[in-house]
Chains A and B, each alone.
Chain A
């Protein structure tokens, strides 16, 4: 019957089939729709529940965005404590009943808040295991006879090396000019640490090739960095060293370190800059720092802030020599 209806509607050739269609359309009407009373009641309850859950979710999202865990814990302490009611002595039956009723009414919000706090604490601890360095002491303790030694923390990409990928030659890794002499010379005065945001499997073969004389004592890679605002930062406070004796040398020093007062900015290097001498230019300054051994390097670096440190160091050395020469001349004049 339905096939006949479809055929007649599609082709509509014979009037006989048309009469069949007409006969089908003359069938009795559908039964009346059921009563809308009971669906309305369930629908109201369903919408109320959905609204409550949505409101709770939105509020929890706003609380996660606007407040930290400790702030929420403090703000909701009174709410959570009001759910635990203990009847004191000497209260009337009416007051006891009112307190019991209030604590019962407050149980649901208090339980909800506690559930939210527990879930958030668990999630934040999980996230912290990815974003924080894997330990608070990234380096072992200094030897007793090396307490005066400065720690030179070096970055890797665009500071000691530069790697590039082209479809003609694939991956190529280049050494900065003078990096061998730089490491070998400064290993006499400093404890050299490489602290980079690259992965371990990249850092280990690079340093094995770069450091054939074992001038670099320690390697720290991406698990040792602190992930913050979408970037991997070096946290020099976790190096287990005196913060007044730590120097961080990098082509992106000020924007990749959490302690900018310990930073030595150097020009970022790429392989087409074959006349670069920035690493070797830093040798006089770093050697002078190691020999004079100031108790805290941070005021010294603060005085060099905004300058090109090697050229500023040379300028100050010349000025110092000129002043010493003038003093000698003045002494001779008095004689």
Chain B
């Protein structure tokens, strides 16, 4: 038997069970039962972080969505503020929609690109270093900022890299503090 007691493998997390113990029959079959829930797919249980594909979709999608909402809100307020007293309702509405849509798309695209670069760099760092911790996120943030501002010159890239690294480290530290102190 695969699970019988004669097999001396991995006895440390099992207990012995005898289904014939209430019957006075000479059948002696002992089975090892697990003491914890047993996974059918061990790779499901061994997974400790999102895969690179999940990371890519998550960071890009949430970045674009956050940027689009924030940009649209800001553009709407700006469009409302620019309204003239002589404008009719149609012209005012048209200006608000144009301003909101334009700003939303612009900021959404920017944050989506930032999320894409960050996800790629973080997954690459996790793959290279073989571990998932704060250093990965900080270095990925630094690389993201530098890459995003690379075309604007080395000084601007350095400043953006520093801002990105600090922001990523603060985000990870904030998330860990949130998990520890906020009872969710």
Question: CB-CB contacts of B131-142 with A at 8 A, as 1s and 0s?
Answer: 000000000000
> B17 — which chain A residues lie within 8 A by C-beta?
178, 277, 280
> A281 — which chain B residues lie within 8 A by C-beta?
19
Shortest C-beta distance, B115 to chain A (Å), equals 20
Closest partner residue, chain A, to B19 (CB atom): A280
Given A281-B19, A284-B20, A314-B23, residue A173 in contact with residue B39 (CB < 8 A): yes
Asked if A185 is at the interface (CB within 8 A of a chain B CB), the reply is yes
Residue in A169, A274, A283, A314 whose CB lies within 8 Å of B34: A274
Closest partner residue, chain B, to A209 (CB atom): B40
State whether A213 touches B2 (Cβ < 8 A).
yes
Give Cα distance in the complex from A227 to B40, angstroms. Answer: 29
Asked if B94 is at the interface (CB within 8 A of a chain A CB), the reply is no
> A280 — which chain B residues lie within 8 A by C-beta?
17, 19, 31, 33
Asked if A45 is at the interface (CB within 8 A of a chain B CB), the reply is no
State whether B23 touches A175 (Cβ < 8 A).
no
Shortest C-beta distance, B38 to chain A (Å), equals 5
State whether B37 touches A185 (Cβ < 8 A).
no
State whether B40 touches A161 (Cβ < 8 A).
yes
Residue in A175, A185, A209, A274 whose CB lies within 8 Å of B35: A274
Give Cα distance in the complex from A173 to B45, angstroms. Answer: 9
State whether B40 touches A175 (Cβ < 8 A).
yes
Give Cα distance in the complex from A225 to B51, angstroms. Answer: 36
- Number of chain B residues close to chain A: CB under 8 A: 24
Give Cα distance in the complex from A49 to B106, angstroms. Answer: 58
Give Cα distance in the complex from A181 to B30, angstroms. Answer: 10
Given A185-B1, A284-B20, residue A177 in contact with residue B38 (CB < 8 A): yes
Closest partner residue, chain A, to B20 (CB atom): A284
Give Cα distance in the complex from A280 to B33, angstroms. Answer: 10
> B31 — which chain A residues lie within 8 A by C-beta?
178, 181, 280
State whether A181 touches B4 (Cβ < 8 A).
yes
Closest partner residue, chain A, to B36 (CB atom): A274
Give Cα distance in the complex from A321 to B38, angstroms. Answer: 37
Q: Which B16-73 residues have a C-beta within 8 angstroms of A?
A: 17, 19-20, 22-24, 29, 31, 33-41, 44-45, 47
Given A161-B40, A173-B41, A274-B37, residue A317 in contact with residue B23 (CB < 8 A): yes
State whether A314 touches B22 (Cβ < 8 A).
yes
Give Cα distance in the complex from A62 to B2, angstroms. Answer: 61
Given A170-B44, A280-B17, A284-B19, residue A175 in contact with residue B24 (CB < 8 A): no
Asked if A65 is at the interface (CB within 8 A of a chain B CB), the reply is no
Closest partner residue, chain B, to A271 (CB atom): B37
Asked if A35 is at the interface (CB within 8 A of a chain B CB), the reply is no
> B20 — which chain A residues lie within 8 A by C-beta?
284
Give Cα distance in the complex from A274 to B44, angstroms. Answer: 19
Shortest C-beta distance, A308 to chain B (Å), equals 13
> B33 — which chain A residues lie within 8 A by C-beta?
177-178, 277, 280
Give Cα distance in the complex from A294 to B29, angstroms. Answer: 24
Give Cα distance in the complex from A283 to B33, angstroms. Answer: 14
State whether A177 touches B19 (Cβ < 8 A).
no
Asked if A134 is at the interface (CB within 8 A of a chain B CB), the reply is no
A-B contact pairs, 20 of them (CB 8 A): A170-B47, A171-B44, A173-B40, A173-B41, A174-B37, A174-B38, A174-B40, A178-B17, A180-B2, A181-B1, A181-B2, A181-B3, A184-B3, A209-B40, A210-B40, A274-B37, A280-B31, A283-B19, A283-B29, A284-B20
Interface residues of B (CB under 8 A from A): 1-4, 17, 19-20, 22-24, 29, 31, 33-41, 44-45, 47
Q: Ordered nearest first, which 5 A-B pairs have the shortest CB separation?
A: A181-B3, A173-B40, A271-B37, A280-B19, A175-B38
> Beyond the given A169-B44, A209-B41, A281-B19, could you list 19 further A-B residue pairs with CB under 8 A, ordered by the A residue number?
A169-B47, A172-B45, A173-B44, A174-B40, A177-B33, A177-B34, A177-B38, A178-B3, A178-B31, A181-B4, A185-B29, A213-B2, A272-B37, A274-B34, A280-B33, A284-B20, A318-B22, A318-B24, A321-B24
